């Protein structure tokens, strides 16, 4: 029960909802004695819209963003007010809506500016002011936006480190959840496919949290150098990324290990218990960081690992078969993984226990800025997206037409508060069909439930003061839950809107009925438009994500090969290649998840795409395991066979990319290269078999060399096999594309979009 409650409280959303609510309530408290309700509403709207631009960033970027938002909202309202009822209103209205949709090409902050601009456009039609009233209305909206800026800065300076702590805590919880699923894999009858899907889902979430933390910690690097707390968070974040990398990179053949230890199953059980304790310990660290309580470790992980080693030693002494040697060598990889994770977990514990954190992070994290996703506000970026190959262009055009139809319906039927149709379209309409469909359903359900609950409150409660307090509470809950559960958020937001009108107007029942009708019309228009007007079916975009994921894996393998050959410290290109490999594989899985929400007829090549997503995830894990081994061990000189096999895997990935991009040429495959690979693979397999047949020695040097040759060769063989499977599945997709009537769509939508754009 407590863990479920923490899901909604251990985040920054409650603080955000409090900032919005306070900023919206203050104008009413100031202006109610003067009965200037319309002024107070305008200020509250300005504050609530501007608040959407309050995204993770440095203080400087926060102030700039909120200032732009506070000016944009009244500016749009002013333009629409002066042009309404004139012949040139519609051309200006269309230009504003389309332009606001297109600025989303400039990244997350621009996307939020686009959203609040579209909301301001919809709300700009809610009033019919003239003369000086227009200027007063817009000035009050500007006042509301600036008021929110002040409140937001007030919250920041009261607890300037809270956001970083909450994001780090969320990162810790997700990492803990990922490790728990790794523990589940050790069950004898584990559903590997289901567990892998859950791990990929968590990785998608972790990619977003990692990006937020990078933005916050790196943009505030000046504070990071001087603040013990910020240095602490930066080292914690870096350690969490390493824990995830170690987890992803360590793949084990669980079925084979169960078979090898069938006579001693308690060894597997002991390790599974240790794996769960990794997850529990990290979860406890997250709770301690969030609450500020004293940390007390519940488990002695090092002692548990030593006990596991003792069980393994007893197993060796009692069993002297050839299978025993193979079991020990394979399980030694598990022990290396456990030892690495325990070391990283101890670093996290040390971060919490040390009262004054003295670690110097300046040298260690000097290149952090290069890990940020750059945003360039160039005209060329907009111009390059002004064509039908751009998802954002098609969405902007679709959105403009849909809003225009909604406006015409509202005016033609003279609907009460018809601007709610436009608001519904703006809020639920997304570039993809799946998310629009989900939001349409959730918004309609939330509106109906929220309206009925609000009506019940108004029916049974006559006291205006109590209704006012309930309005404030429903407002807090509405914005609080909007981030974590949209349906619940819409329910509370509908409640506070209806309660406000219940205080001010007597015809609240009519208001509720019209709101439900307008919401249904808006949802139907948005849903239909996403299906009929240049739909952005995910199977058209997933092809690009496939190419990017394979390309990122290919670049990562290149860096691992260089590291193995040249030895030395891990350099920046290696780290960047690793980062983008994790991100692109996560993006591929997110794209697949969006695709399966679309109609069955539009889920082209669903089986093959899912197979490729899993293969790319497994390939990344296998490649990373070689990279981790090279970093944590003193390895011997890379053999020519090693380089030939790695090069073979890279070429398979390159051929797969060419197949997906319709550029594959069979003449690229050389018989000589294939023959060299087969010879090298046979050579490596021979080394592995020879090492396994050698007598087990207690000499640490010989033991280490045996582990390197057996474990690295094992991963190399698996890596090359995965690259062949990726190539085979890519060829299957390419052949199916040629035999379907959708070939034209693929050629036009994948070839016209340059690699790396959007």
Determine, yes or no, domain membership for 450: yes
Residue 636 has pLDDT above 60, yes or no: no
Q: Which residue has the higher pLDDT, 388 or 408?
A: 408
Same domain, 634 and 678: yes
- pLDDT confidence band for 609 (50 / 70 / 90): confident
Determine, yes or no, domain membership for 289: yes
- pLDDT confidence band for 695 (50 / 70 / 90): very low
Q: What pLDDT, on the 0 to 100 scale, is given for residue 76?
A: 92
Q: How far apart are CA 600 and CA 588, in angstroms?
A: 19
Q: What pLDDT, on the 0 to 100 scale, is given for residue 94?
A: 92
Residue 560 has pLDDT above 90, yes or no: no
Q: Which residue has the higher pLDDT, 344 or 670?
A: 344
Q: What pLDDT, on the 0 to 100 scale, is given for residue 702?
A: 45
Determine, yes or no, domain membership for 611: yes
Mean pLDDT of 15-28: 86
Q: What pLDDT, on the 0 to 100 scale, is given for residue 503?
A: 67
Mean pLDDT of 708-728: 76
Residue 373 has pLDDT above 80, yes or no: no
What's the pLDDT tens digit per position in 514-527? 777 888 888 888 88
CB of 472 closer than 8 Å to CB of 451: no
DSSP string, 203-248: HHHHHHHHHHHHHHHHHTHHHHHH-HHHHHHHHHHHHHHHHHHHHH
Determine, yes or no, domain membership for 717: yes
Q: How far apart are CA 678 and CA 35, in angstroms?
A: 86
Same domain, 511 and 425: yes
Determine, yes or no, domain membership for 650: yes
Q: Where does a domain end: 313, 340, 370?
A: 370
Burial class of residue 91 in the structure, from the number of CB atoms within 10 Å of its CB (0-12 exposed, 13-18 middle, 19+ buried): exposed
- Cβ density class 517-546: b for 16+ within 10 Å, e for less: bbbbbbbebbbebbeeeebbbbbbbbbbbb
Q: What pLDDT, on the 0 to 100 scale, is given for residue 709?
A: 55
237: domain CATH number? 1.20.58
Same domain, 320 and 424: no
Same domain, 338 and 303: yes
Q: What pLDDT, on the 0 to 100 scale, is given for residue 678?
A: 56
Mean pLDDT of 715-725: 81
Same domain, 300 and 437: no
Among the residue ranges 41-45, 193-197, 537-541, 604-608, the one predicted with the least confidence is: 537-541
CB 26: neighbour CB atoms within 10 A?
A: 19
Determine, yes or no, domain membership for 232: yes
Domains in the chain: how many in total?
3
Q: Which residue has the higher pLDDT, 757 or 440?
A: 440
Same domain, 720 and 575: yes
Same domain, 530 and 542: no
CB of 632 closer than 8 Å to CB of 518: no
Determine, yes or no, domain membership for 129: no
Q: How far apart are CA 498 and CA 509, in angstroms?
A: 9
Same domain, 518 and 542: no
What's the pLDDT tens digit per position in 298-315? 888 888 888 888 888 887
Q: Where does a domain end: 506, 534, 562?
A: 534
Nearest of 253, 192, 247, 196 to residue 714 by alpha carbon: 253
User: Which residues constitute the domain of residue 525?
Assistant: 387-534
Same domain, 639 and 680: yes
What's the pLDDT tens digit per position in 441-466? 777 787 778 878 887 887 788 777 78
Q: What pLDDT, on the 0 to 100 scale, is given for residue 686?
A: 56
Determine, yes or no, domain membership for 55: no
pTM for the model stands at 0.72
Same domain, 543 and 529: no
Mean pLDDT of 601-609: 76
Q: Which residue has the higher pLDDT, 90 or 499?
A: 90
Query: What percent of the chain is modeled with pLDDT above 70?
Result: 76
Q: Which of 109-113, 216-220, 379-383 has the highest mean pLDDT?
A: 109-113
Residue 679 has pLDDT above 90, yes or no: no
Same domain, 355 and 445: no
Residue 637 has pLDDT above 70, yes or no: no
- pLDDT confidence band for 615 (50 / 70 / 90): confident
Q: What does each C-alpha distance from 551 to 163, 577, 578, 642 come to in angstroms?
A: 34, 10, 12, 21
Tokens of 407: 């406006």
**What integer best gives the mean pLDDT of the chain?**
76
Q: Which of 3-7, 40-44, 233-237, 315-319 has the highest mean pLDDT?
A: 40-44
Residue 266 has pLDDT above 80, yes or no: yes
Same domain, 410 and 507: yes
- pLDDT confidence band for 717 (50 / 70 / 90): confident
Q: What pLDDT, on the 0 to 100 scale, is given for residue 375?
A: 57
């Amino acid at each position: 029960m407590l863990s479920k409650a923490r899901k909604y409280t251990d985040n920054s959303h409650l603080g955000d909802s409090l900032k919005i609510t306070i900023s919206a309530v203050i104008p009413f408290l100031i202006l109610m004695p003067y009965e200037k309700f319309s002024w107070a509403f305008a200020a509250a709207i300005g504050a609530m819209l501007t608040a959407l631009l309050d995204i993770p960033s440095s203080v400087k970027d926060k102030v700039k963003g909120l200032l732009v938002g506070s000016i944009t909202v009244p500016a749009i309202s002013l333009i629409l007010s002066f042009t309404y009822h004139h012949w040139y209103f519609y051309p200006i209205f269309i230009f504003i809506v389309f332009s606001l949709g297109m600025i989303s090409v400039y990244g997350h902050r621009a996307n939020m500016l686009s959203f609040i601009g579209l909301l301001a456009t919809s709300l700009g039609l809610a009033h019919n002011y003239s003369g000086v009233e227009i200027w007063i209305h817009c000035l009050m909206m500007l006042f509301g936006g600036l008021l929110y800026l002040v409140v937001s800065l007030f919250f920041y300076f009261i607890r300037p480190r809270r956001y970083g702590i909450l994001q780090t805590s969320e990162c810790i919880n997700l990492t803990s959840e990922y490790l728990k699923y790794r523990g589940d894999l050790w069950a004898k009858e584990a559903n590997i496919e289901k567990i892998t899907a859950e791990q990929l889902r968590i990785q998608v979430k972790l990619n977003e949290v990692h990006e937020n933390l990078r933005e916050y910690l790196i943009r505030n690097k000046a504070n990071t150098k001087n603040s013990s707390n910020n240095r602490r968070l930066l080292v914690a974040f870096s350690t969490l990324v390493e824990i995830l990398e170690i987890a992803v990179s360590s793949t084990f053949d669980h079925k084979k290990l169960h078979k090898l230890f069938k006579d001693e199953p308690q060894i597997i059980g002991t390790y599974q218990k240790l794996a769960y304790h990794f997850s529990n310990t990290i979860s406890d660290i997250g709770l301690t960081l969030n609450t500020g309580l004293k940390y007390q470790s519940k488990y002695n992980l090092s002692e548990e690992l030593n006990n596991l080693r003792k069980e393994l030693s007893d197993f060796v002494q009692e069993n002297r078969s050839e299978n025993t040697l193979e079991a020990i060598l394979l399980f030694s990889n598990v022990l290396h993984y456990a030892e690495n994770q325990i070391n990283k977990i101890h670093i996290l514990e040390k971060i919490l226990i040390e009262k004054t954190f003295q670690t110097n992070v300046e040298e260690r994290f000097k290149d952090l800025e290069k890990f940020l996703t750059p945003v360039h506000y160039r005209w060329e970026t907009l111009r390059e997206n002004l064509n039908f190959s751009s998802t954002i262009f098609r969405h902007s055009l679709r959105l403009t037409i849909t809003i225009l139809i909604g406006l015409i319906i509202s005016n033609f039927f003279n609907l009460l508060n018809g601007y709610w149709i436009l608001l519904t379209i703006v809020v639920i309409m997304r570039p993809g069909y799946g998310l629009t469909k989900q939001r349409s359903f959730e918004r309609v359900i939330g509106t109906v439930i929220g309206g009925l609950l609000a009506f019940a409150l108004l029916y049974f409660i006559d006291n205006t003061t109590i209704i006012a307090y309930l309005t404030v509470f429903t407002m807090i809950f509405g914005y609080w839950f909007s981030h974590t559960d949209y349906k619940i958020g819409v329910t509370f937001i509908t409640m506070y809107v209806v309660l406000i009108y219940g205080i001010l107007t007597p015809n609240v029942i009519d208001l509720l009925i019209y709101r439900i009708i307008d919401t249904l019309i808006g949802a139907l228009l948005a849903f239909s438009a996403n299906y009929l007007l240049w739909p952005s079916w995910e199977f058209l975009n997933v092809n690009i994500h496939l190419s990017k994921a394979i390309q990122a894996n290919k670049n990562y393998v290149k860096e691992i090969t260089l590291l193995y050959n040249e030895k030395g410290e891990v350099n920046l290109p290696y780290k960047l290649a690793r980062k983008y490999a994790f991100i692109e594989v996560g993006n591929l899985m997110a794209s697949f998840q969006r695709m399966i929400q679309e109609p069955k007829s539009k889920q082209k090549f669903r089986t093959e795409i899912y197979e490729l997503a899993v293969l790319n995830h497994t390939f990344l894990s296998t490649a990373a395991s070689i990279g981790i081994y090279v970093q944590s061990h003193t390895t011997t000189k890379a053999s020519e066979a090693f380089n030939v096999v790695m090069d073979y895997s890279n070429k398979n990935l390159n051929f797969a990319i060419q197949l997906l991009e319709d550029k594959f040429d069979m003449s690229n495959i050389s018989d000589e290269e294939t023959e060299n690979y087969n010879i090298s693979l046979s050579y490596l397999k021979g080394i592995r078999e020879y090492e396994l047949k050698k007598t087990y020695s207690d000499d640490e040097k010989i033991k280490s060399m045996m582990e390197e040759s057996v474990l690295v060769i094992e991963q190399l063989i698996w890596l090359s096999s995965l690259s062949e499977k990726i190539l085979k599945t890519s060829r299957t997709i390419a052949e199916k594309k040629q035999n379907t009537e959708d070939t034209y769509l693929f050629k036009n939508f994948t070839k016209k979009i340059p690699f790396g754009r959007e």
